[in-house]
Amino acid sequence: MNISVRCLTQWKHERSVSCAASNQRARHAKCNTWHGQPTNGRARHQILEVFATLIAALSRAQRSIGDRTSPAVPTPFAFQVIRGKPESSGETFMTKILKYILIPWKWLQWLLCWLFYKGPTYDPSKWNDNGPIQCSNNCYNYACDIRTDNFAQPGLAHGAVANQMACADVSTGAIADGLAPVAATDACTGCCHRVALVIAPNYDFHWYRLDNSGFWSHKPGSTAARNYDNSNQPITDPRTADRGPYTDFCGFYCVCSVQIKGYGPPPYC
C-alpha cells in the first residue's frame, strides 16, 4: 500500500473513531458528514459519480464499436467529450448521444403541452404590486406573459419597431418577436397561448390575453392587470368587448417562444 493510500485510510479511521467518541450534540454537528464532507457535499459527490459512470459506459460503448470498425482512438473518450473533439463525421460522440436524447424529449414536451397546457393562469398578484413591477411592464409584457421591467415594445428586440400606430406596422414587429398570426377559429397548440392586438389609430397599441379560465385579461400600460373591459364586463371576446379608444381590431396571435424588450421603464416609475 503506498503512502497516500495508507494516510487516507488512517485519516478515515481516525475520523470515524473521533465521531463515534463524540457526544450526541457534537455528533450531530460534526459527524453528519461523509468522508469529511457535509451532507450537501455528499449529494454533489454522488451526482459526479453518476456522471462519471455514464461517461465510462459511453466510452466503453464507443471503444467496442471502434474495435470492430476502426483502429482504437488514442485520445480517451472523456477528454474528447470535454474538448469537443470532432469525429470524422464532424460531430462529437456526445453530440450524437444528446441529439438522440433531446429530440424525443422535445416531442414529449410538445405532447404534454398539447394535452395539458390551456394557457396562462389569471394571477393579478404577479403584476399588480403598486410598485416597479406594475409600473415597468405593459400590455405587451402581460400578453406574452414575460416580465422585462422595461415596457416592452413590439419588434424592438429584432429591429422592427413600428413607425406608426397602425395594425400592419405593430403586427410586423410582433411577428419579428416570434408571435404567429392565427385565424379566429384556429387553436394555439403546444405550449402556446392566444393573444389579440388592437389599435387606437395613430395613438397607441394594446394587447389582450386569453387565460386558461376561457376569459380574456389585459394590463393597460402601467395600470393594474384586470379581467374586465372598459364597461367592467368580463371579456369573452376582445372583438366585442368595450375597448374604449382602441377601435381597430388587428387580429389574433399565438405566443410560443418569443423574445421581447423595451426602451426602459417609464420615467415616472
Q: What is the pLDDT of residues 136-149, one digit of tens each?
A: 999 999 999 999 99
pLDDT at 53: 60
Mean pLDDT of 118-127: 93
The residue type of 12 is: K
Structure-derived torsion over alpha carbons of residues 154, 156, 159, 162, reported in degrees to the nearest 10: 50
Query: What confidence tens digit (pLDDT) does each residue in 30-81 have?
Result: 333 333 334 445 555 555 565 556 555 555 544 444 444 334 334 444 333 3
- CA separation for the pair 205, 250 (Å, rounded): 10
C-alpha grid cell for residue 149? 421591467
Nearest to 238 by CA among 221, 256, 220: 220
Q: Binning pLDDT at 50, 70 and 90, where does residue 109 land?
A: low
pLDDT at residue 43, rounded to an integer = 56
Q: What is the pLDDT of residue 268?
A: 86
Please classify residue 52 by burial: count the beta carbons closer than 10 Å to its beta carbon, then call 0-12 exposed, 13-18 middle and 19+ buried.
Answer: exposed
- The residues, ordered by sequence, that sit 6+ positions from 153 with a Cβ below 8 Å of its Cβ are 140, 161, 162, 173, 260, 261, 262, 263
Residue 184 binned pLDDT confidence (cut-offs 50, 70, 90): very high
Q: What is the pLDDT of residue 60?
A: 54
CA distances to 154, 183, 266 from 158, in Å: 9, 24, 21
Beta strand segments in the chain, E: 33-34, 37-38, 180-182, 193-200, 204-210, 216-217, 248-255
- Percent of the chain with pLDDT strictly greater than 70: 59
**How far, in whole angstroms, is CA 211 from its chain's centroid?**
19
Q: What is the pLDDT of residue 21?
A: 47
Task: Point out the least confidently predicted range of 41-50, 80-89, 248-257.
Answer: 80-89
Tens-digit pLDDT profile for residues 4-31: 444 444 444 554 544 444 444 444 443 3
In the chain, the amino acid numbered 45 is H
The overall average pLDDT reported for the chain is 76
- Phi, psi values for residue 256, rounded to 5°: -115, -90
Residue 150 pLDDT greater than 70, yes or no: yes
Residue 17 has which C-alpha cell? Answer: 473513531
Q: Residue 266: its pLDDT value, please?
A: 87
Q: Where are the alpha helices (DSSP H) in 117-230?
A: 132-136, 139-144, 167-177
DSSP bridge pairs for 218: 226
pLDDT value at residue 62: 47
Total-model pTM: 0.62
What are the extents of the domains in the chain? Answer: 32-116, 124-255
Q: Rounded mean pLDDT of 161-172?
A: 97
Q: What is the pLDDT of residue 216?
A: 98
The arithmetic mean of pLDDT across residues 164-186, rounded, is 97
What is the average pLDDT across 88-102? 60
Q: What pLDDT shows up at residue 175?
A: 98
Q: What gap in Å lies between CA 86 and CA 99, rounded to an integer?
A: 15
What pLDDT digit, counting tens, does each position of 210-250 carry?
999 999 999 999 999 999 999 999 999 999 999 999 999 99
